[in-house]
Chain A
């Protein structure tokens, strides 16, 4: 061994003394020194392959699409409010062809605005950043559509001024934190003749549309819906922070209605700004209650409070339980809704229970995305299975029945368990994309708004009354004319 080693590599061991004094390194040094560079080339090749594969996997493509490549008319867009929700909408819009971004407005110029502008420039949109939305509306004459994703208490002024400046508006829900604000928005849309879509995005979700149009309206799979329940459970999360070096100067915060950076970041919890979880989360689902039941509520009872968080920074209720009553075209229905911010188990869903079947539906693809149960007494669903409206029933697994269960005597009062089916509709795009597409298609005249101002207003009336009922500590009635303007 040792002898072999001695002979093994004479050039290497002998090299240094032989090296000519004037040369820093020889051919061997260069070869060995760069010997692993081809590995990097190989990596680059594999990386390119992987990127190309990932791109091909995305049906719409996350890449910026040249508007010229599509046949649709280009729409000039401004984003008003580039916070968390603004970014969600922006990400979805970057996947929609035929949009040209012109401006971004956000009072957090140091952070949100800069980030949104940078993202858009990366996607080859020449955008200007603004702090004051009025300046943006004055200067950017080419803008056709404004996307409003600011805090709720700014929705009315932002939307009304944009409509009056001749722009179509997509405004996030909740339409406004006050009914007066929401009314002014409906009126402005009517007066200007411009489009106003409210961001209850489930109204355009293909699974929700399938359930509403096909399963409930056409096939009437649930029979008569008598009870509904829904929830949005969210785990405890810390208040939103901010990088100290990017804090907004106090004067600017004050100018736009905020007492502090803490309030600016966590406006949802403050009275006069947002409405708490019942408005942030519940609004989406209570909107679906009315839509699927085909009626606005007649009464509401509610209990809630700031049970867990610090009431000085969480003015709105962290826990809310509400019961609605409806007089639907089929008869009376009751709906229970809860939202809480201390435990995220079982997530969020809406559950419609009729005398012939049950539908559990959620925007989430991960859990409760769309399950149907056919009551054993209901007519067979084979026709709808053949049409592809629902999947075939799940086969019962004998192994799932434990020995204890088999040994137990079935109580005669217990119902036979229903068949389980699935709603065969999956959305692979971001949740907000179909609703935004519906808005832009309506601008181009090829669609109709799925959630125009009047519909958003009805939901605002139904939802804002919950906080009122909690304060009143009694059952409140809705007058039918309350829902109309």
Chain B
């Protein structure tokens, strides 16, 4: 078993990489004139297809969805890279990814005309990234390496005044590692 510190560094590396991916997805949409999720939403399959089609149905809803998606991806990306509000960022990222996953789920019996770059059965890269974000979320690595550490310190007196034994990512880290 690697030391908790090494474990935390690995998680930080993973967090930064996921953040990079989100940031680029967001920025590339923001800088593409007239980008819209409409085509993606209309390709929806699976149990929630109706919800996605509804999102694409009215210009009002669609433009809100587009804005939320573009800015959401960008903000989550920045949050994850910098380790700033890491838990909120990873939770929001998790939500976004799951929304993407359930739009085109690789379930048996659904067929897509756009080829995927790999072979998937139920589990695809979206789901793997979602699971990775869940790890980032529960380990709160921003408090180990990230702006959260500074925010935490600024409010530190209050936090440290809490009863001993409260989990502190800066020191205790994954609790089962001890």
Contacts and interface: CB of A to CB of B under 8 A. Distances in A.
State whether these chains interact: yes
Interface of A: 1-2, 4-5, 8-9, 12-13, 15-16, 24-25, 29-30, 32-37, 39-40, 43, 47, 51, 62, 91, 238, 241-244
B20 A30 contact: no
State the majority secondary structure of interface residues on A: helix
B121 interface: no
Interface in B15-74: 15-16, 19-20, 23-24, 27, 31, 33, 57-60, 63
Contacts of B63: 243
B156 A32 contact: no
12 contacts: A8-B4, A16-B168, A29-B153, A32-B149, A33-B150, A36-B15, A39-B20, A39-B81, A43-B20, A51-B31, A238-B57, A241-B59
B23 to A, nearest CB: 6
B82 A32 contact: no
B119 interface: no
A36 B160 contact: no
Interface residues of B, number: 39
Contact of B170 (A5, A12, A91, A244): A12
A32 B4 CA distance: 15
B147 interface: yes
Interface string B105-144: 0000000000000000000000000000000000000001
B175 interface: no
Contact of A29 (B19, B24, B150, B178): B150
B93 interface: no
A485 B147 CA distance: 75
A47 B27 contact: yes
A311 to B, nearest CB: 23
State the majority secondary structure of interface residues on B: helix
Nearest to B23: A43
Contacts of B76: none
A13 to B, nearest CB: 5
Given A29-B149, A43-B23, A242-B59, A4 B3 contact: yes
B85 to A, nearest CB: 13
A93 to B, nearest CB: 14
Nearest to A265: B59
Interface of B: 1, 3-5, 12, 15-16, 19-20, 23-24, 27, 31, 33, 57-60, 63, 78, 81-83, 144-150, 153-154, 156, 160, 168, 170-171, 177-178
A36 B78 CA distance: 11
Given A9-B5, A25-B154, A39-B20, A33 B59 contact: no
A1 B4 CA distance: 11
Contact of B160 (A8, A16, A33, A242): A16
A25 B27 CA distance: 33
Contacts of A243: 59-60, 63
A37 to B, nearest CB: 7
B147 A33 contact: yes
Given A8-B3, A36-B12, A244 B147 contact: no
A30 B150 contact: yes
Contact of A36 (B33, B82, B156): B82
B1 A1 contact: yes
A107 to B, nearest CB: 18
Nearest to B1: A1
